[in-house]
Copies of this chain bind each other. A is one copy, B any other.
Amino acid sequence: MRVVVLAGGVGGARFLLGVRALLDDEAARSTSGGQPQIQVIVNTGDDLTVHGLRVCPDLDTVMYTLGDGIDTDRGWGRRSESWQAKEELAAYGAEPFWFGLGDRDIATHLIRTRMLDAGYPLSEVTAALCERWHLDGSATQVQLLPMSDQRVETHVVCEIEGARRVVHFQEWWIAHHAQPPVEEFVFVGLDDSLPGPGIVEALSAADAVLLAPSNPVVSIGPILAVPGVRAALRESSARVVGLSPIVDGAVVRGMADKCLPAVGVPVTAQGVGRHYGPRKSDGILDGWLVHESDTADVPGVEVRMVPLLMRSPEATIAMAQAALDLCRG
């Protein structure tokens, strides 16, 4: 069973825990069948360079989560983290103050930055970092694939203190708490980017393709916008199933409710499903999972209503099960 998952940060990472546990469990029950495999295509549009270090928030969140190094309360960053370097940087007056580098986390960024500076592409750097974290499950192989080795950065056109500005997504999100109304998202470098190594092949060889319940605009959106990814996904022989990040007309976590209006999409499970659209027309979905209390009419897409709140490992596994069931038809 080869499962490809498109994912952003916290929500995607948690969902992946469920997918991995499910495949491990299926492998343990099965007497036949090859080794299950998860290939995660991860958004890199949130990446930024801060204090000279290259930081990849979504890759790190997925890596730390699957590697059991995540701070489970915050959902991001390292467990048992400390902030001494951050305090010192502030004492020096070194901007930006709004992005906090944890002391443990810094090690990851130092290694990444050094390897990138030495000429290794992000995909190889990511593979090297993941070696330490042992992302595989008891039976399931897990591989993280950055959406592109080229730099693609999400910037936000918005009004801040009366002036029209273009800021990095992280600045809009962290420094300005996603408050400034968004006029437009601009994906700098997108046009010249290529899918990361292995991504087209992964989508082609997949038995199931899942869209994690991540932000459709700034997490799943950039992945699909990398030239070649959307086409490869549409051409996959596997069924493509998405999970709604919107439940009861609100985001479960994050700021999709601030992003969707900027691209003219209603903040509803139906709105996002229609935004992705049916693969049999010009969209990408075969199936769409919405929360049990939601309804969605997405012409050309099979919609199922199941619990979509990741309140426990069991609930998350059940979501993965529902998604794979829908993939299997």
Interface centre among A85, A94, A111, A129, by most chain B C-beta atoms within 10 angstroms, is A85
Partner of A117, one of B52, B94, B104: B52
Asked whether A53 and B110 contact (CB < 8 A) given A84-B103, A88-B104, A103-B103, the answer is yes
In this assembly, does A106 line the interface, its C-beta being within 8 Å of a C-beta of chain B? yes
Render A93-119 as a binary contact track against B, CB cut-off 8 A, 1 for contact: 110000000011011101101100100
The distance in angstroms between the C-alpha atoms of A146 and B104, with both chains bound, is: 31
**B contact residues around A129 at 8 Å (CB):** 92
For the complex with contacts A51-B114, A78-B88, A92-B107, 11 further pairs of A-B residues with Cβ separation under 8 Å are A52-B113, A52-B117, A81-B84, A82-B84, A84-B104, A85-B106, A88-B108, A89-B111, A91-B107, A94-B107, A103-B103
In this assembly, does A29 line the interface, its C-beta being within 8 Å of a C-beta of chain B? no
Partner of A85, one of B87, B92, B104: B104
CB distance from A28 to the nearest CB of B (A): 29
In this assembly, does A132 line the interface, its C-beta being within 8 Å of a C-beta of chain B? yes
**B contact residues around A132 at 8 Å (CB):** 91-93
The distance in angstroms between the C-alpha atoms of A52 and B81, with both chains bound, is: 22
CB distance from A48 to the nearest CB of B (A): 14
CB distance from A148 to the nearest CB of B (A): 23
Q: A residues 249-292 with Cβ under 8 Å of B?
A: none
Asked whether A85 and B111 contact (CB < 8 A) given A117-B52, A132-B91, A132-B93, the answer is no
The distance in angstroms between the C-alpha atoms of A91 and B108, with both chains bound, is: 10
The distance in angstroms between the C-alpha atoms of A81 and B82, with both chains bound, is: 11
**B contact residues around A91 at 8 Å (CB):** 107, 132
**B contact residues around A80 at 8 Å (CB):** 84
Can you give 11 contacting A-B residue pairs, CB < 8 Å?
Answer: A52-B117, A53-B110, A81-B84, A82-B84, A87-B104, A91-B107, A92-B108, A94-B107, A94-B110, A103-B106, A106-B106
The distance in angstroms between the C-alpha atoms of A132 and B81, with both chains bound, is: 26
CB-CB nearest in chain B for A81 = B84
CB distance from A325 to the nearest CB of B (A): 38
**B contact residues around A86 at 8 Å (CB):** 107
The distance in angstroms between the C-alpha atoms of A91 and B69, with both chains bound, is: 12
Q: A residues 42-81 with Cβ under 8 Å of B?
A: 51-53, 78, 80-81
The distance in angstroms between the C-alpha atoms of A132 and B90, with both chains bound, is: 10
Q: A residues 197-223 with Cβ under 8 Å of B?
A: none
The distance in angstroms between the C-alpha atoms of A103 and B105, with both chains bound, is: 11
B114, A85: Cβ atoms closer than 8 Å = no
Partner of A52, one of B92, B94, B114: B114
The distance in angstroms between the C-alpha atoms of A93 and B107, with both chains bound, is: 11
CB distance from A154 to the nearest CB of B (A): 23
